[in-house]
Amino acid sequence: MAKLHSYFVLCPLIDQKSFLGVSEDKDAEYVIVTLGRNVVNKYRLSDQKQVGGWTSKEHITAAVIFDKDQDAYVGVFNKNIIKIWKEDSDNLDKVKKYKFPLNILRLVPRQGEPSLVIFENGNCASLPYALENRKTYESKGSLKDNEGIVDIATYTLNKVGHVCYVTKDNKDRYEIVTSPLREELGDLEKSKVAKIKITRRDDVYVVGELIDTKDKPTVYILWNDAKMTLYDLTKKSWKTIGTVPWVSALSSVSLAWMGKNHLLVFGSNTEQDGAIIVAYNTLLGVGSCRYPMKMYTEGARMYCFNDRIILEASNHIGMLPYVLETKRNLSSLLGSHEIIQNECTEIADWGTPTKPLYSVSEEIKELLKLGLTERVICSQILQPYFEKSDCKSIKKVLKEFKDVPESVLVQLLSYTLKLVDYTDADLSSFEEFGQWFTDFSKKSKDVHELLNYAFEISFSDALLIPDLRKYLTLNDTLFLLAYISHMLIDSESDFDTDYESKLCDWCILLTDAFYQQFLMTKDEKVTQVLHNTLQVVSSLVKQLDKIDDLLPLLNKFVTRRFKPDESEDTLSYTIELMQI
């Protein structure tokens, strides 16, 4: 993520129209500012102090650069003259002139190679080659008469230097022009010049562009609907990144590359009452941070040098330090992602049948067409069956659902308890209730099976407890505890360990739901039912402990290491309990 710090004024601007640009100096801590037609200054970024500068009577027509190959400063004068001078030069008017028959548009420094001279007609050449052949240089251009270059960058692909232009004609149509550069000469291989039109199917137009070659050769295009697209110069393919937030795309927008998947955007804010700087994450398609400005400058030049933003304002050159973090904080992305409407909708055909492959009743099919959830469908389907009092149908319908609402589960328990009619059962006597339990399971088989199935349904404790307290009475709870206790020890009941675990969960759930009533009541029946439940659980725990003690002996039988006459003295180890 990106963070923007406080804004500083680097230097005052003499005249905005005559400002030509900012370029990197020999040392990364310094920048070269071509303030006007006659003034070039050097500034230190750390304290915004001027450390040098030159003036000229002849008009400077392109931003001055530092050429590392010649270890000197290079400038364009009167559009067709190049001058090269050292830092200690005090008078640019006395520096040697190299006059060209063609107008020069810009000088582009290159990493590890001589700088490139870009002519207005689209041709180019390396600085040494251009100086040696300036009088015989070809005048036939690679651009049309109604086209002009708006952005230039160089990059290397497969160890071959390339140049990229973004051009614009008099009808505001944009194109990307790329070409390999001939080695040492630095001019275009005209047979390999490629042109890509910048268009979209919608009725939109370009409001900002940038060629980035620092991380990956890419051309970024911002449209007036705030969508950001990129053209990959290596893969030669287009991609839509996302929508740029907080910036109004109704007027022109300036772009610059920050690094680490971050693009810098400067434009008018959405309210059109000021300006804003936005750090835009091109990997995630979201705005990382923003910095509000009072004044918007249309077509402002913007650069990023040594973790600092250099921005052209109305009456000064501003500087804004920034930090790019490698770690992504999700909290800083909240609310920054705009909703993107897809340009086109592709209808996928997965070859699946329109009818479901599983069998469901006609009632459920009709509700599925409405897009209802399984819980809602279950609630609507079961209500008529509760009113009809049809036990078999209720159980059959319940088996068609995996997600049964807790409210329906409590309703099922309440309905089943009414059918059981346990008023004649003695809950406090464990033996008598056991006899009642046996008779009930034989006489009311359908109700017995429905109640048993109710304990099998999955549930959420937090959602079920409020409904249990609301719709079940204390007597209902005592009956259920006694009923589950007998199910746990009933030898005739045949159920697996998962079901047995759910019965134990129900005992815990009922105790949690009604523990206050258990504590506050003085009814002997409550105490006796809880005591019986405790005895059943304790008995089961003791049986598990016996099995645990028996396992080592069984293991000896299996491994044939058991000796019947083995005494404690011959055992491999003994365990003694000491009373402290």
Helices (H) and strands (E) in the chain, counts: 12, 28
pLDDT at 257: 94
Nearest to 463 by CA among 543, 403, 519: 403
CA angle 416, 422, 428 (to 5 degrees): 130
Question: What 8-state DSSP symbol labels residue 95?
Answer: S
| pLDDT tens readout for residues 205-264 | 999 999 999 888 999 999 999 999 999 999 999 999 999 999 999 899 999 999 888 999
pLDDT at 124: 92
Span of 40-44, 478-482, 486-490 with lowest mean pLDDT: 486-490
pLDDT at 564: 62
Percentage, residues of the chain above pLDDT 90:
46
Q: Is the pLDDT of residue 154 over 60?
A: yes
Distance CA 554, CA 562 (A): 9
Which residues, in sequence order, are bridge partners of residue 161?
A: 156
Q: What is the DSSP string of 291-341?
A: EEES---TT--EEEETTEEEEE-SSEEEEEEEEE-SSPPGGGGTT------
Nearest to 152 by CA among 186, 118, 194, 113: 118
Which residues, in sequence order, are bridge partners of residue 82?
A: 76, 98
pLDDT at 576: 79
pLDDT at 334: 57
Nearest to 227 by CA among 254, 196, 204: 204
| pLDDT tens readout for residues 350-393 | 666 656 555 667 777 777 777 788 888 888 888 888 888 878 88
pLDDT at 352: 60
Give the pLDDT mean for 25-51: 92
| pLDDT tens readout for residues 172-196 | 999 999 999 998 888 898 889 999 9
Give the pLDDT mean for 385-409: 86
Q: Is the pLDDT of residue 100 over 90?
A: yes
Task: Give yes or no for a contact between 206 and 174, defined as CB atoms under 8 angstroms apart.
Answer: yes
Which is higher by pLDDT, 568 or 363? 363
pLDDT band at 344 (very low <50, low <70, confident <90, very high): low
Give the pLDDT mean for 522-550: 89
CA angle 36, 42, 44 (to 5 degrees): 135
| pLDDT tens readout for residues 441-453 | 888 888 888 898 9
Q: Is the pLDDT of residue 328 over 60?
A: no
Distance CA 184, CA 510 (A): 88
What CA dihedral angle connects 446, 449, 450 and 456, to 10 degrees? -170
- Mean model confidence pLDDT for the chain: 87
pLDDT at 206: 95
